[in-house]
Amino acid sequence: MTGPRVPLPVYVLAFAVFAQGTSELMLSGLLPGVAADLRVSVAAAGLLASGFAAGMAVGAPLLTAATLRWPYRRALLAFLSAFVLAHLFCAAAPGYGALMAGRVLGAVAYAGFWVSAMVAAVRVVPAEIKGRALAVVSSGLAVATIVGVPLSTVVGDAFSWRTAMLAVAGATALAAVGIVVFLPEGRGTGAERPDLRRELAVFTDPRLWLTYLAAALSAAQGTAIATYLGALLIGAADLRPGRVPVALVIAGVGALLGLAAGGRFADRWPFATLLAGFSGAAAASVLLVLGAGRPVTAVLCATALQFFGWSLNPAVNVRVFTYAAAAPSLAGAANITGFNIGIMAGPALGGLLIALGGLPAVGWASAGFALAGLAAAGGSYLLRGEEAEPAQATLPVAR
């Protein structure tokens, strides 16, 4: 007997995340061209990625509060429009400062979109498939790592990084058209209208803060490895540079499979999914340290890390939207901020350990973050009280 299916509008949201997520990640393949064109160092060009993450961390709560009473379709279209304009500006940027400003502004709009997309996704599906719907939305980012980033690199090599920015703007505009055509208007009843005091009241729940901590740690353990994976495979595993893109695609497939598995299990067993994900990520990180000198082992461990790390995403989201079911917007925004704090912290600690112990030592950073995440998830579980199965908490469903 099959259950309810994820509807088409959720996949449209996933495509929008794919388009914008490609921009978030594509600098890894465009850095040399950006640095040469703008006459800055590769390290300085790399700070554009940090600026993007900072923009998302700050933008999520600010834009959510500013648009709290908007129907979610209007908010989604406004954020997508701002993202398109920011990338048109980036494509024409005369210098490094202008490009940084465009990246930060685009990230702010992207953060606002993420929050509205998650709220929209859980409102257009039955409560029992919230996790699957959130996993589908997040899969856009996983697909961006497998498809979007390599394509943007090809475009950048064939034309320029500015052309890659224009391509992202075009894909985002196409996603906006899809939202106009397929997504319900999303106007709630008066009782459902968001209220700032009600939104803020959910932050008194300590379980929510532990879930935010778990979100940050899940992102940190993933980015600690992902940021340096190419260098690790070449420098420690002695993999030929020409084979690194293939290895990264294999690891990306692991991320997509982990996201799908997490989405399936998070609806019924959110805590078990969190515990399994953090435990598996910690084990894979240690094995990566021990087997970093062997290419096949390193690739397999990296793929396992991606699988377990991405399986955490829907489980964390389900917990947040369960504890904040009555007022999900600002709670979802804080979750985005938590993820981006982790995205900034993971590479920082990973780089520090690499400086101290060489490339394989980055695995210890990932393992440490995963074990801390395991403790946070366990603490949230102990505080659960007499709550019913969390996936059964409901949100109003749009008609």
Q: Is 2 within the bounds of a domain?
A: no
How many residues in the chain?
A: 399
pLDDT of residue 397: 35
Question: Do both 381 and 234 map to the same domain?
Answer: yes
How buried is residue 186: exposed, middle or buried, by Cβ count under 10 Å (0-12/13-18/19+)? buried
Residue 175: pLDDT band (50, 70, 90) is: very high
Q: Identify the residue with better confidence: 132 or 164.
A: 164
Structure tokens at 71: 């129907």
0.85 cut: is pTM over it? no
Question: Do both 282 and 350 map to the same domain?
Answer: yes
Q: What is the percent of the chain where pLDDT is above 70?
A: 90
Domain coverage including residue 382: 195-399
CA distance 278 to 366: 10
pLDDT of residue 12: 95
Minimum mean pLDDT among 244-248, 276-280, 306-310, 350-354: which range?
A: 244-248
CB 232 within 8 A of CB 357: no
pLDDT of residue 56: 85
Structure tokens at 176: 């906006």
Minimum mean pLDDT among 105-119, 217-231, 296-310: which range?
A: 217-231
pLDDT in tens, 224-278: 887 777 777 777 777 777 777 778 788 888 888 988 888 788 778 888 899 999 9
Query: Which has the closest alpha carbon to 182: 77, 30, 49?
Result: 77
Average pLDDT for residues 86-93, to the nearest whole number? Answer: 95
Which range is most confident: 31-45, 106-120, 159-173? 159-173
Return the beta strands (E) in 187-298 as ranges.
none
Question: Do both 240 and 310 map to the same domain?
Answer: yes
Exposure string (b/e) for 331-360, b if CB count within 10 Å is 16 or more? Answer: bbbbbbbbbbbbbbbbbebbeebbeeeebb
Q: Is 13 within the bounds of a domain?
A: yes
Number of domains in the chain: 2
Q: Is 1 within the bounds of a domain?
A: no
CB 73 within 8 A of CB 118: no
Which residues are CB-neighbours of 283 under 8 A, at least 6 positions away?
none
Domain termination residue (choose one: 144, 162, 187): 187
Return the beta strands (E) in 77-176 as ranges.
none
In the predicted structure, residue 388 carries a pLDDT above the cut 50: no
CATH of the domain at 55: 1.20.1250.20
pLDDT of residue 196: 66
Question: Do both 179 and 241 map to the same domain?
Answer: no
CA distance 313 to 133: 12
In the predicted structure, residue 70 carries a pLDDT above the cut 70: yes
Q: Identify the residue with better confidence: 336 or 75.
A: 75
Which residues are CB-neighbours of 134 under 8 A, at least 6 positions away?
118, 121, 122, 263, 266, 313, 314, 317, 318, 321
Question: Do both 268 and 350 map to the same domain?
Answer: yes
CB 353 within 8 A of CB 361: yes
Residue 217: pLDDT band (50, 70, 90) is: very high
Question: Do both 175 and 236 map to the same domain?
Answer: no
The Cα-based distances of 105 to 9, 70, 87, 108, 127 in angstroms read 26, 20, 9, 5, 34
Domain termination residue (choose one: 187, 219, 246): 187
Which residues are CB-neighbours of 378 under 8 A, at least 6 positions away?
275
pLDDT in tens, 260-273: 888 788 778 888 89
Question: Do both 180 and 248 map to the same domain?
Answer: no
Domain termination residue (choose one: 187, 207, 227): 187
In the predicted structure, residue 395 carries a pLDDT above the cut 50: no
In the predicted structure, residue 52 carries a pLDDT above the cut 90: no
Q: Is 47 within the bounds of a domain?
A: yes
Question: Do both 108 and 177 map to the same domain?
Answer: yes
CA distance 265 to 381: 16
pLDDT of residue 195: 64
Question: Do both 121 and 199 map to the same domain?
Answer: no
CA distance 93 to 112: 23
In the predicted structure, residue 190 carries a pLDDT above the cut 70: no
Helix (H) or strand (E) holding 158: helix 149-158
Q: Is 392 within the bounds of a domain?
A: yes
In the predicted structure, residue 391 carries a pLDDT above the cut 70: no
In the predicted structure, residue 386 carries a pLDDT above the cut 50: no
Structure tokens at 125: 């599906």
Q: Is 317 within the bounds of a domain?
A: yes
pLDDT of residue 191: 42
